[in-house]
Amino acid sequence: MAEEEPPEGSLAIDTERDKLGYVMGHVGPYVRLRPLAGGREWDADPAHVRRATDAERLRAVQERTRALNAMSSRGIFL
């Protein structure tokens, strides 16, 4: 049985690229993902996309927090 595609807004792993991103939608045959820190979305083959594990989600939050802290120390606020 194939794993269900991750829903919009969830964190997912593109195993082909080894990248973590937010699911922005499903466009044609692809899953559209956006990097955690924002930026350009990319299309991923659904066969290579899976939901992020709890450990991967925690790592993502920690990485995003570090990035935001680094930016704020340089006077950049989002």
57 domain-assigned: yes
Number of domains in the chain: 1
20 domain-assigned: yes
31 domain-assigned: yes
The CA distance from 16 to 18, in Å, is 6
Cβ atoms of 56 and 13 closer than 8 Å:
yes
5 domain-assigned: no
4 domain-assigned: no
- At residue 2, the pLDDT reads 47
Domain that holds residue 27: 11-73
Cβ atoms of 8 and 24 closer than 8 Å:
yes
22 φ/ψ sector (left φ>0, alpha ψ -120 to 50, else beta): beta
- The pTM of this model reads 0.76
Cβ atoms of 11 and 49 closer than 8 Å:
no
Per-residue pLDDT tens digits for 14-50: 999 999 999 999 999 999 999 987 789 999 999 999 9
The CA distance from 24 to 42, in Å, is 10
